[in-house]
Every structure is written in C-alpha cells, then in structure tokens.
Amino acid sequence: MTDSLKPPGKVLLTREEIQARIKDLGQQITEDYEGRTPLLVGVLKGAFVYMADLARAINLPIEFDFMAVSSYGNATKTSGVVRIVKDLDIDLTGRDVIVVEDIIDSGLTLNYLRKILGSRGPSSLEVCALLVRSGRQSEDLGLRYIGFEIPPDFVVGYGLDVAERYRNLPDLWSYDQTK
C-alpha cells in the first residue's frame, strides 16, 4: 500500500477477520430466511462493499435495493439531522427486509430508517450492521445481526470514508484525526 493511500492511524480489523465474520452472518441469514427471498436494503455509500460481500455469503435467492441517507456530510461527527438523499425503488409491502448498514453510531440514522421503512408495510424488518461503535447508543437498538463491536473511534476503509477518501481500503482502520 502506498503512503498516499494509507490513512493516519492503525488497522483495527483485517480483511481476513472481516470476511470470516461476513461468512458467519451470511450463514445465519441463510438459516433464518430459509424458503424466503429477503430484500437487502443497502445504505449508501458506506455499506456498498459490505453488502456485496454479504450477498455472496447468503445461500438464498435475494433481491437488492439501495437508499442513501445523510447525517454526516463531510464531517467526522453526525450533524444530528437525517435526510433521505436517494429513496428505494422497490415496494416493501409484505417483504422480508434486511437493512444493511456499515456502522451504527448513535442509532439516530437507524431509528429514522426503521420508522420510515416500517411504515411501508414490510412483513419483517431487521438490520445487519457490520460495525457498532460501543458506548455511543443511548438505548438498546435490538440489532439482530452484528459483525463487530468496535471502540468509539472514527474508522475508515472497507467502504467507510472521511470526506470520500479511503473507501477502497480492504482493511478497517482506526482513523487518527490529530495527524
């Protein structure tokens, strides 16, 4: 990796650790949704890498749609305001929906998504988050599928960014904002 691609900080999770956990999550989802066709709803942009790998780890027919929401902009801290940038194309009525999130921080965005998507009549609505920042949520979010619980550091790589940089790193890095 060239120094221009390497972010300031250290590797928090290697690509091998990430892939092993995704394989386990895919197997669990395959068992839980046997005989059904779940709809994976990827939250753009951060979840696109994770969702692609997760989809390949699920041994069922699945469908995809994407939604883009924003609460960060180019900052490293949430603004506290969630807005839909791109809405879904598929009707959720009667569907088994799994929201695929890259990272759960305070839970603000997730709670907003659950409220909006739940009002659209899905048969079931679950969340599959790759990362949950420990100690940042004010309440139990009732997440069914969690990849990793991580420290409350800002992280980049594996789809996550800072100002649109570092998404293409295969490992997850703790981003040192002081450098």
Of 53, 96, 105, 161, which one is the catalytic site residue?
105
- Can you give the pLDDT at residue 70? 77
Instruction: Supply 93's token pair.
Output: 């009525």
| CB 86 within 8 Å of CB 66 | yes
- Can you give the pLDDT at residue 125? 97
**Residue appearing with tokens 């309440």:** 139
Segment 72-128, tens digit of pLDDT: 555 445 556 778 889 999 999 999 999 999 999 888 888 889 999 999 999 999 999
Lowest mean pLDDT among 21-25, 141-145, 156-160: 141-145
- Listed in order, strand segments (DSSP E) in 45-136 are 63-70, 83-86, 96-104, 124-133
CA distance 53 to 90: 21
Annotated catalytic residue 65:
no
Segment 70-82, tens digit of pLDDT: 765 554 455 567 7
Q: Which residues contact 55 (CB under 8 A, 6 or more apart)?
A: 40, 62, 64
CA distance 17 to 13: 6
pLDDT of 138 strictly over 70: no
101: which strand partners? 129
DSSP output for 15-36:
HHHHHHHHHHHHHHHHHHTTTS
Domains of the chain: 24-71+79-175 (3.40.50.2020)
